[in-house]
């Protein structure tokens, strides 16, 4: 009678959290561990945003808001989508949620019936398959190879579609790949989704973090049809270094957004009121800090990428966005004698004192994920340690 529900017992534990917890434990016992596991920018939230949050509290704006978010924040999101993407939405097509993660969770709960399939390109963000399963759906993983720059093609998606397919997830710039889909690639994908009549879920949380000549294109901007079948998911976590504030949004089909808002009204109610006022300032205020952070991440990438590429047995596709490197380390594993990427990552932590995330949880068993959301000095020291570790065992 006291058993756990099967919905939680079949959840996979987060590999990201397991390594991070172990690294923290080692740090607390005095070991000098360098963590490259971070999934968040290493800056504080910009001052003008903090001040707006404080002002709103002093003005007594500390009560419930509408479950789907403050009209003023929806308007700020609508304005952002108009300026950045050039597409128009109305308030009834936008919902504010508790981070992009919970917005995605609520979306899957809203559109999936038991056994409905969702196409998930791998390497993927760890939470997609689990959230789909929690909604009773089936993740259908389509593998993108290193040779294809970790991007799936329209033909691969077409092949994976069945009569049960409800949606495709796209995540560009991608976590953990750092890859950015081109307009041409997205056009072909949009065409397949149109012919097969499926939803597109476009997770654009790393939109602002693109480097070099890469350009972020939202698939929703490609045609009227693409706009109507796409849900844009985004938020302030990565762009404005606001991961702890928990504000994300969805823009898309009115009927779905209305049902999601209804669901939120019975589960979470509104996202934290103070956070919503902070997010209004994030979108309506100066974007200087966003650009400063982007430039800084870009220069770290330029510094660190060749150094990681030079580690024996590491092969890295140069990322164009987000703040992760995803080296294929299969050759290094073979030469250092480990069984798999989990054992390799464990040894890196215990012996070289560098925490990285094994790709197993991302559907990518040959890779490790290194986050460069940390200072350049620590990054270079971490790479030296990994390099020494691999050379000593080779
Ligand atoms: N989507 C991707 C691909 C992410 O990497 C993350 C955060 O790690 C999220 C969504 C969730 O972001 P949020 O902090 O807005 O919930």
Which atom of ligand 1 is nearest to 171's Cα? 3
How high does pLDDT run on average in the chain? 96
Which pLDDT does position 10 carry in this prediction? 84
Give the tokens for residue 187. Answer: 């056009």
Which pLDDT does position 28 carry in this prediction? 95
Place of tokens 């790393």: 206
Q: What is the pLDDT of residues 243-264, one digit of tens each?
A: 999 999 999 999 999 999 999 9
Percent of the chain at pLDDT > 90 equals 94
Phi then psi dihedrals of residue 299, to 5 deg: -75, -30
CA distance 33 to 31: 6
Q: Is the pLDDT of residue 15 over 80?
A: no
Which atom of ligand 1 is nearest to 243's Cα? 14
Q: What is the pLDDT of residues 54-71, one digit of tens each?
A: 999 999 999 999 999 999
Q: Is the pLDDT of residue 268 over 80?
A: yes
Which atom of ligand 1 is nearest to 104's Cα? 10
Model confidence band, residue 48 (pLDDT cutoffs 50, 70, 90): very high
User: For 7, left (φ over 0), alpha (ψ -120 to 50), or beta?
Assistant: alpha
Q: What is the pLDDT of residues 16-47, one digit of tens each?
A: 777 888 999 999 999 999 999 988 899 999 99
Out of 237, 243, 326, give the residue to mutate to test ligand 1, the one with the largest number of ligand atoms within 8 Å of its CB: 237
Expressed in angstroms and rounded, the spacing between residue 100 Cα and the centre of ligand 1 is 6
Out of 20, 77, 125, 201, give the residue to mutate to test ligand 1, the one with the largest number of ligand atoms within 8 Å of its CB: 125
Q: What is the pLDDT of residues 123-148, one digit of tens each?
A: 999 999 999 999 999 999 999 999 99
Q: Is the pLDDT of residue 13 over 80?
A: no
Q: Between β-strands 230-235 and 199-203, what pairing exists: parallel, antiparallel or unpaired?
A: parallel
Question: Hey, where are the domains in the chain?
Answer: 6-44+289-393, 47-284
Section 348-360 average pLDDT = 96
Place of tokens 């949606």: 167
Which atom of ligand 1 is nearest to 247's Cα? 15
Expressed in angstroms and rounded, the spacing between residue 201 Cα and the centre of ligand 1 is 14
Least confident of 12-16, 17-21, 335-339: 12-16
Domain 6-44+289-393 grouped into CATH 3.90.1150.10: yes
| Same fold: 6-44+289-393 with 47-284 | no
Q: Is the pLDDT of residue 75 over 90?
A: yes
CA distance 305 to 295: 15
Which atom of ligand 1 is nearest to 322's Cα? 5
Q: Is the pLDDT of residue 14 over 90?
A: no
Section 369-387 average pLDDT = 97
Expressed in angstroms and rounded, the spacing between residue 204 Cα and the centre of ligand 1 is 9
Out of 38, 205, 275, 357, give the residue to mutate to test ligand 1, the one with the largest number of ligand atoms within 8 Å of its CB: 205
Which atom of ligand 1 is nearest to 103's Cα? 16
Residue having the nearest C-alpha atom to atom 7 of ligand 1: 39
**Start-to-end CA span in the chain (Å):** 53
Section 267-272 average pLDDT = 98
Expressed in angstroms and rounded, the spacing between residue 350 Cα and the centre of ligand 1 is 28
Which pLDDT does position 356 carry in this prediction? 97
Section 342-360 average pLDDT = 96
Expressed in angstroms and rounded, the spacing between residue 48 Cα and the centre of ligand 1 is 23
Expressed in angstroms and rounded, the spacing between residue 76 Cα and the centre of ligand 1 is 20
Residue having the nearest C-alpha atom to atom 8 of ligand 1: 39
Out of 15, 99, 103, 282, give the residue to mutate to test ligand 1, the one with the largest number of ligand atoms within 8 Å of its CB: 99
Q: Between β-strands 248-251 and 94-97, what pairing exists: parallel, antiparallel or unpaired?
A: antiparallel
- pTM value surpassing 0.95: yes
Name all residues whose Cβ lies below 6 A of ligand 1.
39, 99-101, 125, 171, 175, 203, 205, 235, 237, 243, 248
Section 70-99 average pLDDT = 98
Q: Is the pLDDT of residue 12 over 90?
A: no
Q: Which residue from 153, 183, 171, 193 is spatially nearest to 85, judged by alpha carbons? A: 183
Cβ burial of 8 (10 Å; 0-12, 13-18, 19+) is: exposed
Expressed in angstroms and rounded, the spacing between residue 104 Cα and the centre of ligand 1 is 9
Which of the 8 DSSP states describes residue 362?
G
Residue having the nearest C-alpha atom to atom 12 of ligand 1: 100
Q: What is the pLDDT of residues 88-125, one digit of tens each?
A: 999 999 999 999 999 999 999 999 999 999 999 999 99
Look up the CATH architecture of domain 47-284: 3-Layer(aba) Sandwich (3.40)
Residue 302 host element (H or E): helix 288-309
Q: Is the pLDDT of residue 387 over 80?
A: yes
Model confidence band, residue 190 (pLDDT cutoffs 50, 70, 90): very high
Percent of the chain at pLDDT > 70 equals 100
Q: What is the predicted ipTM?
A: 0.99
Expressed in angstroms and rounded, the spacing between residue 222 Cα and the centre of ligand 1 is 24
């Amino acid at each position: 009678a006291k058993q756990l529900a099967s919905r939680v017992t079949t959840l996979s534990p987060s590999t990201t959290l397991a390594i991070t917890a172990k690294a923290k434990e080692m740090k607390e016992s005095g070991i000098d561990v360098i963590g490259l596991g971070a999934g968040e920018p290493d800056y504080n939230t910009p001052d003008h945003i903090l001040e707006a949050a404080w002002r709103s509290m002093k003005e007594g704006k500390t009560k419930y808001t509408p479950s789907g978010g403050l009209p003023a924040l929806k308007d700020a999101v609508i304005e952002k989508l108009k300026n950045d993407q050039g597409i128009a939405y109305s308030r009834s097509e936008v919902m504010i949620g508790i981070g992009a993660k919970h917005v995605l969770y609520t979306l899957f709960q809203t559109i999936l019936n038991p056994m409905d399939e969702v196409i998930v390109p791998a390497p993927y963000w760890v939470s997609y398959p689990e959230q789909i399963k929690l909604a009773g759906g089936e993740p259908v993983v389509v593998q993108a190879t290193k040779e294809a720059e970790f991007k799936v093609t329209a033909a691969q998606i077409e092949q994976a579609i069945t009569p049960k397919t409800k949606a495709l997830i796209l995540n560009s710039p991608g976590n953990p790949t750092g890859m950015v889909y081109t307009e041409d690639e997205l056009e072909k994908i949009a065409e397949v989704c149109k012919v097969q009549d499926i939803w597109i879920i476009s997770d654009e949380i790393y939109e602002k973090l693109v480097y070099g000549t890469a350009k972020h294109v939202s698939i929703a901007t490609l045609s009227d049809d693409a706009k109507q079948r796409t849900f844009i998911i985004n938020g302030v976590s990565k762009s404005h270094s606001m991961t702890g504030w928990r504000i994300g949004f969805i823009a898309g089909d009115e009927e779905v957004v209305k049902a999601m808002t209804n669901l939120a009204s019975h589960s979470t109610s509104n996202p934290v009121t103070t956070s919503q006022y902070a997010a209004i300032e994030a979108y309506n205020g100066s974007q200087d800090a966003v650009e400063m952070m982007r430039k800084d991440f870009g220069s770290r990438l330029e510094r660190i990428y060749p150094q990681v590429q030079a580690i024996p047995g590491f092969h890295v596709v140069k990322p164009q966005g987000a703040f992760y490197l995803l080296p294929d380390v299969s050759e290094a594993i073979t030469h250092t004698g480990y069984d798999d990427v989990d054992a390799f990552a464990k040894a890196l932590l215990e012996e070289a004192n560098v925490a990285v995330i094994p790709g197993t949880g991302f559907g990518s068993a040959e890779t490790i994920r290194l986050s460069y959301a940390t200072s350049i000095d620590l990054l270079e020291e971490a790479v030296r340690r990994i390099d020494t570790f691999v050379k000593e065992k080779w």
